[in-house]
Amino acid sequence: MWRLALSLVSSIQAGARIKQSVEQSVRRAAIVVAAAVVLLFAVGFGLAAGYHALLIYDFSPLAAAGLIAGVLALIGLVLLFIGLHKPRPRQPDLVNAPAEGLAMVDQSVNKAMNQVGPLTLLAAAFAAGLLASRRR
Whole-angstrom distance, CA of residue 70 vs CA of residue 59: 15
Provide the residue ranges of all domains of the chain, joining segments of one domain with +: 2-84, 97-133
pLDDT band per the 50, 70, 90 thresholds, residue 7: low
As a whole-number percent, the residues of the chain with pLDDT over 90 amount to 1
* Average pLDDT over all residues of the chain: 79
What is the arithmetic mean of pLDDT over 95-115? 73
Whole-angstrom distance, CA of residue 18 vs CA of residue 26: 12
Whole-angstrom distance, CA of residue 21 vs CA of residue 23: 5
pLDDT digits (tens, 9 = 90+) for 34-86: 988 888 888 888 888 988 888 898 889 888 888 888 888 898 888 888 888 87
Secondary structure of the chain as H, E, C letters? CHHHHHHHHHHHHHHHHHHHHHHHHHHHHHHHHHHHHHHHHHHHHHHHHHHHHHHHCCCCHHHHHHHHHHHHHHHHHHHHHHHHCCCCCCCCCCCCHHHHHHHHHHHHHHHHHHHHCHHHHHHHHHHHHHHHHCCC
- Greatest extent of the chain over all pairs of C-alpha atoms, in Å: 100
